[in-house]
């Protein structure tokens, strides 16, 4: 079973977290089975990662003595946890540690992340923002007797619930008895669908998916959708044509991925359309400098970033203003702007705390005129 503990809610909570003192150590462990299929290979990768983190803590001259001691304690705890952690099913790990401030979190990821360790004031969540695991998708398959619920991401689904009911079959005796028997069967089918809908809601209520796909015979798809709790009905995203009982998880995954890709493409198209309308009406901005200003002013509704785009910049240590350059005075309070190796990553973390949407655009030429980054504004 593919492990995935990433959600947009968890990502947003981490992005908003800033300990009152000290620094946060963020480490990303690549467990891709195609690269690290054996225990020795994984062990070598983890050892190399811990060594790099150790050098970062040792050589960072901006750290105070107390901060360096605390980070060494965090690093020792990470090493202990990795030595005993059951990472079965995970293709990557994200670890955020500031133990003295009460933070130590390990997230299992469905996709590998390759990134150097980071020491910062907040958890460094930016490498996780483009992962499929940030959006949870579910597929509900049902026929007249059984049902299967699969959940995960566009890339990885796992079966999480199974429902089986003893629904009688039809007979061909004819006459009044057959009509009464048939009505009994239909009631059993309706009871089965209601039970399936109840199991689905009970399973998903604590963490609702962003989208729900239905797979059922044509005559049952509508009644199944009607039986769903309203919270699930409003997340319906389409139907799949599958053999409910005999289709493998891998095949369901393939069919769902095609549908989800189309939905996400439509979502990008809608965002790009809103962007064009926003430019026409003064409710959008393009280019790094303009976007950073909008992020600082908390005006971003949707941030569109070309996949892989990074840029250096600056941040005011006093008021938090973000800028495309560092070293000069902050326009707001005159404080010298601190250098940021990747101000785009800082901006992404900032907009997540503002409940804004982040879209990574890949193979889309549209962001080009806006120099790789643009935003639709709230006001």
Average of per-residue pLDDT values in the chain: 87
CATH class of 8-133: alpha beta
Give residue 363's pLDDT. Answer: 76
User: Residue 223: which H helix or E strand, with range?
Assistant: helix 218-227
DSSP states along 297-354:
TT-EEEEEEETT----EEE-TTT--EESS-SSB-TTT-PBPEEES-HHHHHHHHHHHT
Query: Which segments of the chain belong to CATH 3.30.420.60?
Result: 135-264
- Alpha helices (H) in 228-306, listed in sequence order: 230-233, 249-281, 288-296
- Residue 80 pLDDT greater than 80, yes or no: yes
34-78: pLDDT as tens digits: 788 788 888 888 999 999 999 999 999 989 999 999 999 999 999
**pLDDT band for position 311 (50/70/90)?**
very high
Give residue 180's pLDDT. Answer: 52
Query: Which segments of the chain belong to CATH 3.30.1330.30?
Result: 282-377
Q: DSSP assignment, residue 151?
A: E
Query: Which segments of the chain belong to CATH 3.30.960.10?
Result: 8-133
243-265: pLDDT as tens digits: 999 999 999 999 999 999 899 89
SS3 36: coil
- Residue 190 pLDDT greater than 80, yes or no: yes
107-128: pLDDT as tens digits: 988 788 888 999 988 899 888 8
Q: DSSP assignment, residue 233?
A: H
CATH class of 135-264: alpha beta
User: Which two three-digit tokens encode residue 312?
Assistant: 């250096």
CA distance 187 to 245: 21
Give residue 172's pLDDT. Answer: 46
Give residue 171's pLDDT. Answer: 45
CA distance 379 to 372: 22
SS3 118: strand
CA distance 71 to 101: 11
- What fold is seen in the domain 282-377? 60s Ribosomal Protein L30; Chain: A; (3.30.1330)
CA distance 145 to 150: 17
Residue of 351, 341, 268, 285 whose CA lies nearest to 310:
341
- Alpha helices (H) in 22-174, listed in sequence order: 39-59, 65-84
**pLDDT band for position 174 (50/70/90)?**
very low
Give residue 36's pLDDT. Answer: 80
118-127, 172-181, 207-216, 221-230: least confident range = 172-181
Spatial contact of 35 and 41, defined as CB atoms under 8 Å apart:
yes
176-189: pLDDT as tens digits: 455 554 555 688 88
Q: Is 194 exposed, middle or buried (0-12, 13-18, 19+ CB in 10 A)?
A: middle
Give the pairing type, strands 300-306 and 357-361: parallel
CA distance 337 to 323: 8
């Amino acid at each position: 079973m593919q492990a995935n503990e990433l959600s947009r809610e968890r990502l947003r909570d981490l992005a908003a977290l800033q300990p009152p003192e000290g620094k946060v150590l963020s480490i990303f462990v690549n467990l891709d089975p195609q690269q690290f299929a054996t225990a020795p290979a994984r062990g070598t990768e983890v050892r190399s990662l811990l060594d790099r983190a150790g050098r970062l803590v040792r050589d960072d001259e901006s750290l105070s003595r107390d901060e360096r001691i605390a980070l060494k304690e965090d690093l020792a705890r990470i090493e202990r946890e990795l030595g005993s952690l059951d990472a079965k099913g995970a293709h990557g790990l994200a670890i955020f540690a500031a133990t003295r401030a009460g933070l130590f979190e390990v997230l299992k990821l469905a996709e590998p992340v390759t990134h150097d360790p980071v020491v910062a004031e907040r958890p460094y969540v930016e490498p996780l923002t483009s992962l499929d695991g940030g959006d949870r998708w579910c597929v509900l398959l049902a026929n007249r007797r059984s049902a299967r619920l699969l959940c995960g991401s566009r890339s990885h689904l796992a079966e999480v619930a199974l429902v089986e009911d003893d629904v009688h079959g039809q007979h061909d005796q004819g006459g009044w008895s057959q009509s009464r028997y048939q009505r009994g069967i239909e009631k059993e089918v309706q009871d089965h669908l209601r039970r399936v809908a109840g199991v689905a809601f009970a399973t998903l209520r604590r963490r609702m998916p962003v989208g729900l796909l239905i797979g059922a015979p044509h005559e049952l798809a509508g009644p199944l959708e009607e039986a769903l709790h309203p919270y699930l009905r409003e997340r319906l995203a389409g139907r799949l044509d599958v053999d409910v009982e005999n289709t493998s998880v891998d095949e369901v995954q393939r069919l769902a991925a095609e549908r989800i890709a189309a939905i996400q493409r439509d979502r990008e198209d809608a965002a790009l359309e809103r962007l064009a309308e926003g430019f026409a009406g003064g409710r959008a901005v393009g280019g790094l400098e303009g976007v950073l200003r909008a992020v600082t002013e908390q005006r971003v509704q949707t941030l569109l970033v070309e996949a892989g785009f990074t840029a250096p910049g600056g941040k005011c240590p006093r008021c938090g203003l973000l800028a495309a350059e560092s070293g000069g005075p902050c326009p707001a309070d005159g404080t010298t702007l601190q250098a940021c190796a990747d101000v785009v990553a800082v901006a992404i973390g900032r907009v997540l705390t503002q409940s804004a949407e982040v879209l990574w655009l890949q193979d889309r030429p549209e962001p080009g005129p806006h120099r790789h980054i643009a935003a639709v504004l709230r006001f």
